[in-house]
Structure 1
Amino acid sequence: MPSDCISFKDTGYFSKLICDYLAEAEMLKPLYNRFPKLENFKEQIEEKSTSFNQESRTVLVDVLHEQYKNTETSKATLDNIEALTNSTTFTVTTGHQLNLFTGPLYFLHKIVSTINLAKELKVKYPKHNVVPIYWMASEDHDFEEINYFNFKGKKIQWNRKSSGAVGALNTEGLEAVFQTFSKELGVGKNADTLRQFFKSAYLEHDNLADATKYLANKLFGDYGLVIVEANNRELKRLFVPHIEKELKEQISEQKVLETNAKIEALDFGIQVNPREINLFYITERLRERIVLKDNVYKVLNTTISWSKSELIKHLYEVPERFSPNVILRPLYQEVILPNLCYIGGGGELAYWFQLKSNFEAHNVVFPMLLLRNSVLIKTKQQADKLKKLNISNKDVFLKRESFINKKVREVSNIDIDFSEQIKYLKSQFEDLYTLAKQTDVSFVGAVSAQEKKQINGLQNLEKRLLTAQKRKLKDQVARMTLLQNELFPNNSLQERNANFSELYLEFGTELIPQLIKYLKPLEGQFSILEL
């Protein structure tokens, strides 16, 4: 598999915040603990060692054994679960929504990044074991974000009503989705494997959490991935002191708002805003915010309410009914896991940057933050076409209009670039500005207007000539456009749009092993792979 890479900044698809983070900009350092370099994990291990207790390990392992008892589990995963009882074992974690059939392709990239980082850390720190964790976002409630995936430009969608946490949703209606997807797959061994993946996950499991766990385990179990379903009574019991602090003191809102002000002062945007209370109340069919009004705690859109003492008593009786929102979910994760590093996409890291001061207020170690691997995968046929059309890896990341204009200029037998003429024209007008100032300063405006008129004229002429040349080279333009659209569907990164099934249909069982082989989570580059 020939491979190449490009900087995240040069792709044009990543925010200034993320690019500055990767460049270790000084102004961002107060927002995170340690930058994810191999040597920095030594101090992270030491810090987490002093704060994570054996009781939490025992509860975690007992819960995982219970959650895996009906799952066909690899020896590597079972060994990793058992290893978590040892004080020298730590985790690296990624999280993802319960998207139908994994959703966007980067689901694979997140988990591969996590598996490979765990392997790399075990080599660097042989006295410690490191376990890769996939945290299922089973308590989310936004069904519209997860009820579909894209396959070859078509939207495969699960239509139904939903309420409560998505992990508890039954799989009713997915037989029809399976039939639609099955027809789109066509024939062949890889198509049959994908059918079996979907059928076994969604038609043979009762709820979305179990279905997603089955599929993730099927794809990555051989690599020792441990999947955590955190919507669990015993795990939440470990988090009760922090829930109680949130209910009584509402400290998260204060701390996150303080950090948000600092981020905005740096001219970066805010990903999430805190609530006064950052908790939901959940039952089988309910997930609504807990609010405090006139010293009474209420569940929005219901008649449920408590006094403070009643609510705290209720918390200790049924902790499983208290669900952290986006502000507290990361804290919950770090309380129940001996975690060193969270691996996520640019948007995820952006909101983690808002949370460090809240972790400090709760006396919980803030994890290292690693941008997941991003990958563009091309077939040998696509790679050959790119080479034939003289399209570089950097070229293909250009936005569509810039890409076409650049390539048309390159293949044209005439020079359609008036930048030198415009530069010369500006120099001529400098002399006119000098003359106007020496004679009558009121003419400076007239000179400026004439300059703008003539520059606009040249720019419009350049555009017209370029359009004419595009028509002349329309066959080449069509081939280049088609090829770029294959690699960047809907003018978006492949990994954000396509589903893994498109590539599995092409590459089969080689897809994941090749990603495992070539993706390097600590390199900080956007990978380009040819399969």
Structure 2
Amino acid sequence: MQVTNYSFEDLPFSKLFKTYVHNFDEVSEFFETNPFDRNAISQKIDEFNFQGNRKQTASILSALNEQFNAHEVAIRNIERLEKENALAVVTGQQLGVYGGPLYTVLKTISTIHIARKLEKEFDRPVIPVFWLADEDHDYDEVRKLTIIEEDKPKTFSLPPKNNHLPTVADLQLPDEISDMRDQLKESLYDTDFSDDLWTLLNRSFQKDHTFFKAFGLFISRLFSKHGLVLAGSNQSDVKGVTGEYLKASIEKADKIRDHLEEKSVDLAEEYHQQVTLYDSNLFYLDDETGRTKISRNNNGWKTDGNIEWSTAQLVDEIEAHPDRFSPNVFLRPVIQDALLPTVGYVAGPGETAYYGQMRSMYRCFDMDMPIIFPRLSATLVEPAINRIIGELPFEFYEYGNRIEDLESDYVDKTDQHDIEGIFEDWQAQVEEISENKKKDVAGIDSTLEAAAEKATSVYINELNKLKGKVYRSVKKQDQTQLDRIRRIKANLFPGDGLQERTIAGIFFMNKYGVDIWDKLLNTLDQDEDFKHHKLVYL
């Protein structure tokens, strides 16, 4: 396995993210700490102050991780969190079936790597934590999985469900998981590693398991041996610990909204606003209407299901029944950081953007924004692709273009004949001759000038048709290379997007082993800071 750097500049990442990794000073007003400045990180760590109860946090995490048969290394890390100088580096993700897209494992690897790096550099316990998105309700996001079959993306899905669902974490895997498994096994051809993979998947994603348990078992079995600790907030003991922050989100709602709006407007002027703002950052969980937003109702509050409260009544309801309330994308990090001594969060490009909206909001909770570390971004290049990619005249990033454009560009770059030049010259000569002849015809009979113009247009149209035939002829002559272009594109930029956002991690585990992520983790340079996209040659 070999890893090389590739600039983000030509890849499909947002302007904000590219600026964040290449010119942090330009976006420093939206973030508290430069993740690439050792002095800034050192100051952040020195000044870090965790307001929570470490013993209580450790107790909660111990009970949770026992459910997932966590490795003894992870259990020891939970115990180490009780130390007054212990810190946590956190990431999180939705509970995707069979582990979800590649970026899920890339975020996890990043978190383990950064925790190790900080612990060694600053000589204090730094624990990697994966926050299970156990309050997420987007079932449609977690029920799908994409692999590559015959050089084409192929998606497998569990059946859709109707509205008013509980959290995805509480949903049991449907009976159709068996059908999905059989279809996947048929498409993922047998290798020396298939038995190990399916042993892992079948033990994790069983029909009697919830998405929460299945995904947690999967991640724990892969990464708890590296000390990764699992956490989440959809538990009564966590809601009991963090209920004060849920109440504060209502009591300080106007102030929070003002701070969010201020940063969001500033961010949108130069970059983009990732997340829409609402009156509150809470959802209400109702047995009849499901999860509904809590919105302003004059001086009070209401849900879409027409439940109404005054502010005092809503605060009392949160205190009495915190389990009935769920944080949105802005409040979730606050709950996370109230439970954990979070010195840093490992974020994808989208998460980095919404954290940029949140800087001032943290002050409303008397908290500081953690360091936002970019995650490992990578494209895995298989040997069969590596063998042919050097034979073609394209840079890696160009395979993100449309296949039609790649084919035309290939013909232009490799054909010995200047087809465009031939036809441009031909058309110019036709137009020059036609202009004079049209005048001659008009001099004979002015009513025929339009007909002469039409004759010229017909001729030029025929030229364009002929040019198309010439291009098709060239394509046919070099079909082998054009097929290779399609193959490379399908593997590196499936569906015109980055591989890491589309293809499931298990696709590579089936071909290269369940321990592929251990190897990638060990391949990373000790000082790696993820300022570049990685090309990982398998």
Instruction: Report the number of matched residues.
Output: 491
Give runs of aligned pairs for residues 377-456 of structure 1, distance below 5 A.
377-389=380-392, 392-393=395-396, 395-415=398-418
513, 517, 523: which is aligned to 1:518?
523
Relative to structure 1, is the Cα distance of residues 283 and 416 closer, same or farther in structure 2, using a 3 angstrom cutoff?
same
**Alignment partner of 1:141: what SS?**
coil
Q: Structure 1 residue 183: deviation in Å?
A: 3.3
Q: Residues of 1 paired with 2:301 and 2:401: CA distance?
A: 52
Q: Residues of 1 paired with 2:399 and 2:182: CA distance?
A: 36
User: Is residue 418–residue 462 contact of structure 1 (8 Å, CA) maintained in 2?
Assistant: no
Indicate yes or no: 2:323 matched with 1:311.
Answer: no
Q: Residues of 2 paired with 1:498 and 1:69: CA distance?
A: 30
**Alignment partner of 2:488: what SS?**
helix
Q: Structure 1 residue 226: deviation in Å?
A: 0.7
Amino acid at match of 2:69: E
> Partner residue of 1:272?
275
Relative to structure 1, is the Cα distance of residues 283 and 98 closer, same or farther in structure 2, using a 3 angstrom cutoff?
farther
Amino acid at match of 1:156: F
Q: Residues of 1 paired with 2:54 and 2:207: CA distance?
A: 32
> Partner residue of 1:97?
94
> Partner residue of 1:326?
329
Q: Residues of 2 paired with 1:418 and 1:343: CA distance?
A: 51
Q: Residues of 1 paired with 2:89 and 2:315: CA distance?
A: 32
After superposition, give the CA deviation of every residue in 1:45-80 in whole Å (9 maximum; x if it has no partner). Answer: 1232x3x13x52122101011112333221210111
**Alignment partner of 2:284: what SS?**
strand
Q: Residues of 1 paired with 2:403 and 2:118: CA distance?
A: 40
Q: Structure 1 residue 161: deviation in Å?
A: 2.5
The worse-fitting range, judged by mean Cα deviation, of 193-202 and 394-403 is: 394-403
Q: Over aligned residue pairs, what C-alpha RMSD do you find?
A: 2.8
Structure-1-length-normalised TM-score: 0.85
> Partner residue of 1:150?
146
Indicate yes or no: 2:131 matched with 1:135.
Answer: yes
Amino acid at match of 1:99: G
Give runs of aligned pairs for residues 419-498 of structure 1, distance below 5 A.
469-498=474-503
User: Is residue 379–residue 530 contact of structure 1 (8 Å, CA) maintained in 2?
Assistant: yes
Give runs of aligned pairs for residues 52-63 of structure 1, distance below 5 A.
52-53=50-51, 55-63=52-60
After superposition, give the CA deviation of every residue in 1:201-221 in whole Å (9 maximum; x if it has no partner). Answer: 121653111111001001111
> Partner residue of 2:223?
220
The worse-fitting range, judged by mean Cα deviation, of 244-253 and 215-224 is: 244-253
Q: Which runs of 4+ in 1 moved over 6 A?
A: 459-463
148, 163, 166: which is aligned to 1:164?
166
Relative to structure 1, is the Cα distance of residues 396 and 364 closer, same or farther in structure 2, using a 3 angstrom cutoff?
same
505, 508, 511: which is aligned to 1:503?
508
Q: Structure 1 residue 187: deviation in Å?
A: 3.2
User: Is residue 252–residue 274 contact of structure 1 (8 Å, CA) maintained in 2?
Assistant: no
> Partner residue of 1:82?
79
Amino acid at match of 1:506: K
User: Is residue 388–residue 484 contact of structure 2 (8 Å, CA) maintained in 1?
Assistant: no
Q: Residues of 2 paired with 1:517 and 1:69: CA distance?
A: 27
After superposition, give the CA deviation of every residue in 1:297-317 in whole Å (9 maximum; x if it has no partner). Answer: 333225x44343333222222
Q: Structure 1 residue 461: deviation in Å?
A: 11
**Alignment partner of 1:9: what SS?**
coil
Amino acid at match of 2:108: I
36, 48, 65: which is aligned to 2:62?
65
Q: Structure 1 residue 359: deviation in Å?
A: 0.8
Structure-2-length-normalised TM-score: 0.84
Q: Residues of 2 paired with 1:460 and 1:86: CA distance?
A: 75
Q: Residues of 2 paired with 1:112 and 1:94: CA distance?
A: 10
> Partner residue of 1:119?
116
Gaps of 5+ in 2: 429-456
User: Is residue 172–residue 207 contact of structure 2 (8 Å, CA) maintained in 1?
Assistant: no
**Alignment partner of 1:43: what SS?**
helix
> Partner residue of 1:376?
379
**Alignment partner of 1:281: what SS?**
strand
User: Is residue 178–residue 198 contact of structure 1 (8 Å, CA) maintained in 2?
Assistant: no
Q: Structure 1 residue 135: deviation in Å?
A: 0.6
Q: Residues of 1 paired with 2:265 and 2:310: CA distance?
A: 33
Indicate yes or no: 2:31 matched with 1:32.
Answer: yes
Amino acid at match of 1:104: P
**Alignment partner of 1:353: what SS?**
helix
Q: Structure 1 residue 415: deviation in Å?
A: 4.3
Q: Residues of 2 paired with 1:418 and 1:253: CA distance?
A: 59
Give runs of aligned pairs for residues 1-40 of structure 1, distance below 5 A.
1-11=1-11, 13-37=12-36, 39=38, 40=40
**Alignment partner of 1:243: what SS?**
helix
> Partner residue of 1:435?
none
Amino acid at match of 2:156: I
Q: Structure 1 residue 519: deviation in Å?
A: 3.9
Amino acid at match of 1:474: Q
Give runs of aligned pairs for residues 203-214 of structure 1, distance below 5 A.
203=206, 205-214=208-217
Q: Residues of 2 paired with 1:516 and 1:418: CA distance?
A: 51
Gaps of 5+ in 1: 426-452
After superposition, give the CA deviation of every residue in 1:235-268 in whole Å (9 maximum; x if it has no partner). Answer: 22333332222212313222111111111222x2
Percent identity over the alignment is 24
Q: Residues of 2 paired with 1:160 and 1:477: CA distance?
A: 38
**Alignment partner of 2:276: what SS?**
coil
Relative to structure 1, is the Cα distance of residues 461 and 350 closer, same or farther in structure 2, using a 3 angstrom cutoff?
farther
Q: Residues of 1 paired with 2:361 and 2:513: CA distance?
A: 44
> Partner residue of 1:443?
none
